[in-house]
Homo-oligomer: A and B are copies of this chain.
């Protein structure tokens, strides 16, 4: 693939080196599964594994590790639990690493498998800053069991700068391998991401990788990924066709177009678009105003998701005014 027919009017910029060293984590089944309770056809999960392997994606986050009993197994797909017998039907060990997420509090450290017995390579821990003690216990146990670990401290946009400093200081002296800047609410603009990338990298030093997990409420997930790459992060999360809760995530296909790196082959991913795009109308991820409004107001997307399930979904002025009033009152109150 040559660049001769691409954009001609500008030099190719100074970002090429950074684009070359980035790693890509696909979270389609894990994060996209929030839209459909992980009830994917097994053949599609197999096809996704194959396509991602062929595309050269570095990590596939295939689901969650969750304590038995926390969800009714008749109502959620197997990727909410990632039992080894389910993984074995889909995953063949290879170059691509398999990641599973733990919602902090939904798995005890003593329930973690041993890496040697598992098809999982990477344990990611999603936590709020306030639950960092428990998250670090999970991290330490996961490291002891032989896993590579990632820490996702969620909803960073709701924290004060001092709170961000505080959790970064603790992570800097932990055994965690990678930390993601997590824009749970899709509230961040590129200048926020630029600031946070510098802060995370400064605190976490050379030995801990920094990445981004971004949501697309304001059509910024891919743009914020580009900003993060330009500022020097080590990895970026994406999902096929942007599938994910609410507005969804950075679309993997756009990210691979942008990276334009011979290490990646976008074509197997394009082959999956048909399967995933056909779910979009019923599952309603993508650009919809209710999600944009929760992103703008820096709140959880739940009210947007609830509204999208009603026929009044696009009656956006009342939604905006109600939130604006409520949040103004809250701001005045304290």
Contact = CB atoms under 8 A, between A and B. Distances in A.
Nearest to A3: B331
A314 B277 CA distance: 7
For A5, A224, A266, A267, the residue with the greatest tally of chain B CB atoms inside 10 Å of its CB is A5
B191 A254 contact: no
A192 B258 CA distance: 12
Contact of A219 (B157, B160, B223, B314): B223
Given A257-B218, A267-B321, A270-B289, A7 B298 contact: yes
Interface in A190-249: 190-192, 195-196, 216, 218-224, 226-227, 230, 241-242
A8 B159 CA distance: 6
Interface string A317-334: 100110010011011000
Contacts of A296: 6, 257
A214 B218 CA distance: 16
A5 B267 contact: no
Nearest to A329: B5
A126 B157 CA distance: 41
A44 interface: no
Contacts of A160: 8-9
A5 B317 contact: no
A188 interface: yes
B292 A253 contact: yes
A contact patch SS:
helix
A92 interface: no
A309 interface: no
Given A9-B157, A10-B195, A219 B218 contact: no
Contact of A274 (B10, B195, B230, B315): B315
A77 interface: no
Contacts of A187: 6-7
Contacts of A327: 4-5
19 contacts: A2-B328, A4-B331, A5-B299, A5-B328, A7-B157, A8-B157, A9-B161, A9-B192, A10-B161, A14-B191, A189-B226, A191-B230, A218-B222, A218-B254, A219-B222, A220-B223, A251-B292, A270-B317, A274-B316
Interface of A: 1-2, 4-11, 13-15, 156-161, 163-164, 187-192, 195-196, 216, 218-224, 226-227, 230, 241-242, 251, 253-254, 257-258, 266-268, 270-271, 273-274, 277-278, 286-289, 292, 296-299, 314-317, 320-321, 324, 327-328, 330-331
